[in-house]
């Protein structure tokens, strides 16, 4: 259509009888035509969609010889189309790996086993092996920042296990493993608060640029099961996190420490805490938290740095397994229940802080809080921060608000 309109314009431009014999006007017409030609780039760089493959997820590992191993899960459009019409017989995705001396070379070597050029803009996850994470992820981040095709909205994950094994799992009810992981991670984040806030490569790069804060990335694991049959797909566990110091991983967080981290950062979602029933020590009460508000500030006195954390947690009584008590706001039963819930949360926070001090990794961002609130003090201590960090003390004040007790006031 563009070419038709262009030639129509040129025809009209030179067909005017009123302009015949005017050499200056004819010269202007020629200049206009040549200027318009510059706007017609054509399709010299076109890439047909049917000649390209959609990457759904990718992972990077390193082998015993120090070679980078890139594994990609890509869509099988023919099978996906047959699934929509009810005639599919194969898998909707395929998995392929390639090696290289650098991450970019390994990525290019994928073309030796895939018949189509890969499109990376649809990739949902970028998975890094534990071995490579402990060695350092700067080479990976350098490639991701430089490559214009990289989609920085990808979810970064550190895997405890084999990347290829994870990407080959065929999840029931889902078209691809990438989509299944996406939904499973969303559930773990919103329902159980077992993953850190870093949910994209862009956020990962932002955290790395902050002074006084180390990186934490979500964890995915394929636990070995000796009873598992070879033909069965392994189970996948989502939860916890990998702690970094600079660009190197230094350890894992378990679920309790991850929950404490989310309370400190004020990014808690939904979750449950189980405490012993105040009226019957053999029974339990399940408390569901769904919102929180936290204020944390550094206090510098006599050259000593300490932190004060004020936390307010809102939730409801989800379950009472035994004989409960009076569920009014001022009852002794409710006050005792709140104290027990507060103690569980305090234990989670203290576990997260102890893990950070043990590994000398300020993934809680306490240094960044000092940098933002008392920049002059931070300038004095930033070079010796990890000599001071293991001795930091945090005062914790927790307030529990029980908004609802369910549809019944007393247990059955």
pLDDT at site 294? 92
Taking 60 as the threshold, does the pLDDT of residue 5 lie above it?
no
Does 258 fall in a domain? no
Does 76 fall in a domain? yes
* Joined tokens for residue 156: 């970064």
Total structural domains in the chain? 3
**Is 300 found in the same domain as 398?**
yes
Does 199 fall in a domain? yes
d(CA 142, CA 100): 16
- Residue with the larger pLDDT of the pair 71 and 111: 71
Does 156 fall in a domain? yes
**Is 15 found in the same domain as 93?**
no
Which H/E stretch holds residue 395? strand 393-404
Taking 50 as the threshold, does the pLDDT of residue 220 lie above it?
yes
Please count the residues of the chain.
412
8 Å CB contact between 324 and 408: no
Q: How much of the chain, in percent, has pLDDT values that exceed 70? A: 81
Domain that holds residue 111: 51-253
pLDDT at site 352? 96
Q: Among residues 359, 115, 122, which one has the least CA distance to residue 242?
A: 359
**Is 379 found in the same domain as 355?**
yes
Does 42 fall in a domain? no
d(CA 176, CA 54): 12
**Residue 89 three-state SS:** coil
Residues 77-134 pLDDT 10s: 766 555 555 555 567 788 999 999 999 999 999 988 888 888 888 888 899 999 999 9
Across the range 388-403, mean pLDDT stands at: 93
SS3 content of the chain, % helix, strand, coil (to 5): 40, 30, 35
d(CA 367, CA 356): 12
Measured from the Cβ of residue 392, the count of other Cβ atoms closer than 10 Å reads 20
* Joined tokens for residue 61: 């590992």
**Is 248 found in the same domain as 272?**
no
Residues 182-212 pLDDT 10s: 888 887 777 777 788 777 888 888 998 999 9
pLDDT at site 2? 46
Rounded to the nearest 5°, which phi and psi values hold at 314?
A: -105, 140
Rounded to the nearest 5°, which phi and psi values hold at 102?
A: -130, 160
**Is 225 found in the same domain as 320?**
no
């Amino acid at each position: 259509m563009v070419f038709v309109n262009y030639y129509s314009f040129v025809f009209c431009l030179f067909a005017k009888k009123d302009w015949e014999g005017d050499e200056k006007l004819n010269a202007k017409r020629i200049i206009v035509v040549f200027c318009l030609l510059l706007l017609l780039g054509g399709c010299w760089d076109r890439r047909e969609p049917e000649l390209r493959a959609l990457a759904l997820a990718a992972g990077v590992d390193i082998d015993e010889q120090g070679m980078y191993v890139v594994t990609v899960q890509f869509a099988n459009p023919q099978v996906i189309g047959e699934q929509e019409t009810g005639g599919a017989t194969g898998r909707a995705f395929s998995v392929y790996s390639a090696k290289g001396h650098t991450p970019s070379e390994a990525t290019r070597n994928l073309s030796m086993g895939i018949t189509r050029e890969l499109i990376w803009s649809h990739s949902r996850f970028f998975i890094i092996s534990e071995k490579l994470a402990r060695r350092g992820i700067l080479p990976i981040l350098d490639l991701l920042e430089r490559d214009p095709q990289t989609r920085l909205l990808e979810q970064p994950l550190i895997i405890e296990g084999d990347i290829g094994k994870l990407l080959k799992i065929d999840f029931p009810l889902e078209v691809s493993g990438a989509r299944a992981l996406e939904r499973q991670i969303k559930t773990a984040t919103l329902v159980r608060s077992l993953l850190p806030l870093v949910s994209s490569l862009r956020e990962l790069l932002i955290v790395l640029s902050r002074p006084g804060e180390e990186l934490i990335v979500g964890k995915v694991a394929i636990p070995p099961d000796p009873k598992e049959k070879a033909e069965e797909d392994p189970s996948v566990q989502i939860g916890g996190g990998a702690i970094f110091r600079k660009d190197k991983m230094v350890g894992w967080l378990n679920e309790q420490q991850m929950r404490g981290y989310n309370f400190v950062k004020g990014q808690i979602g939904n979750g449950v805490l189980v405490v012993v029933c105040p009226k019957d020590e053999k029974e339990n009460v399940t408390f569901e938290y769904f919102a929180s508000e936290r204020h944390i500030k550094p206090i510098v006195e006599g050259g000593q740095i300490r932190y004060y954390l004020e936390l307010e947690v809102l939730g409801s009584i989800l379950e009472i397994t035994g004989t409960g008590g009076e569920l009014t706001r001022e009852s002794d039963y409710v006050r005792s229940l709140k104290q027990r819930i507060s103690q569980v949360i305090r234990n989670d926070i203290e576990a997260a802080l102890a893990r950070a001090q043990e590994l000398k990794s300020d993934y809680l961002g306490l240094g960044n809080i000092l940098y933002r609130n008392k920049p002059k003090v931070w300038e004095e201590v930033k070079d010796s921060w990890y000599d001071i960090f293991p001795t930091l003390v945090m005062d914790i004040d927790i307030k529990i608000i029980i908004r609802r007790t369910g549809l019944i006031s007393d247990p059955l």
